[in-house]
Amino acid sequence: MSLKENLEDVRINIKNTCDRIGRDYNEVTLIAVSKTKPLTMLEEIYECQMLDFGENKVQELKEKEAILPKDICWHMIGHLQKNKVKYIAEFVSYIHSVESLSLAEVINKEGIKANKIINILIEVNIAQEESKFGLNPKDTEAFIKTISKFSNIKVCGLMTVAPYVSDPEENRIHFKNLKHLLVDINNKNLDNINMHVLSMGMSNDYRIAIEEGATMVRVGTDIFGERNYKL
């Protein structure tokens, strides 16, 4: 199958899932996760009105952004080192992986320098896996309260990387829990906090994530094929 057919399939799956549960499919943004993939592949699906791309390495993100059309929205979805924020602050649309106060401080500082409010999502380790980045769910509200006073970041919502499972149904409970956490925190009516974004669901489980309220799904393999990290 061609990239365009893969993309069309994913879009149809999103539309069908939304139709089935009575959600407006315009509420769900598909992010094409293009890490490790060459520019020609990104260009090919850009031609199909794909404007949201996700990358997990600063260097790669920066290089691709410099060459590809300027109307693309770039999503930083991977673990972000503080000393590299400055390379992406000016153009990044969302940083999905904020999980420490020191990182939030640096993003805020770079936002001030760039004269821009930077959209961020808080990464939550919703399944509390040993090996994963992200805040413990019970620490998330206090963390958001602390960073809500920063002038140049906007906390837009929550993000999670769900466990790797063979049956995606197993992740439904985690997606449900992330949604609950977002609603709970919104209900506290904290100053400057009104979150709308739930970034959850990957190739294996994006349909379930949408059923549980995802507003951004991050799909790599189902669009671009398997990644080869040895290249």
Ligand X SMILES: *Cc1c(COP(=O)(O)O)cnc(C)c1O
* Pick from 87, 58, 36: nearest CA to 226: 36
Quick one: how far is CA 63 from the chain centroid? 20
Q: Which of 30, 155, 202, 214 binds ligand X (CB under 6 A)?
A: 202
Q: Name the residue type at position 131.
A: S
Check residue 33 for interaction with ligand X (CB under 6 A). Answer: yes
Q: Name the residue type at position 36.
A: T
Q: Which of 111, 168, 213, 220 binds ligand X (CB under 6 A)?
A: 220
Quick one: how far is CA 31 from the chain centroid? 8
Which x/- pattern over 40-79 shows residues binding ligand X (rule: CB under 6 A)?
----------------x--------------------xx-
Round to whole Å and give the CA distance between 38 and 45.
12
Residue 33 or 181: which CB sits closer to ligand X?
A: 33
Residue 82 or 132: which CB sits closer to ligand X?
A: 132
Check residue 162 for interaction with ligand X (CB under 6 A). Answer: no
Round to whole Å and give the CA distance between 199 and 217.
6
Q: 131: which 2 tokens?
A: 């090996």
Q: Name the residue type at position 183.
A: V
Which x/- pattern over 79-108 shows residues binding ligand X (rule: CB under 6 A)?
------------------------------
Task: Tell me how many residues contact ligand X (CB under 6 A).
Answer: 14
Q: Which of 60, 62, 203, 211 binds ligand X (CB under 6 A)?
A: 203
Residue 80 or 147: which CB sits closer to ligand X?
A: 80
- DSSP assignment of 38-105, as one string? -HHHHHHHHTTT--EEEES-HHHHHHHHHHS-TTPEEEE-S---GGGGGGTTTT-SEEEEE--HHHHH
Residue 150 or 157: which CB sits closer to ligand X?
A: 157
Residue 7 or 219: which CB sits closer to ligand X?
A: 219
> In the complex, which residues of this chain contact ligand X (CB under 6 A)?
33, 35, 56, 77-78, 161, 202-204, 218-222
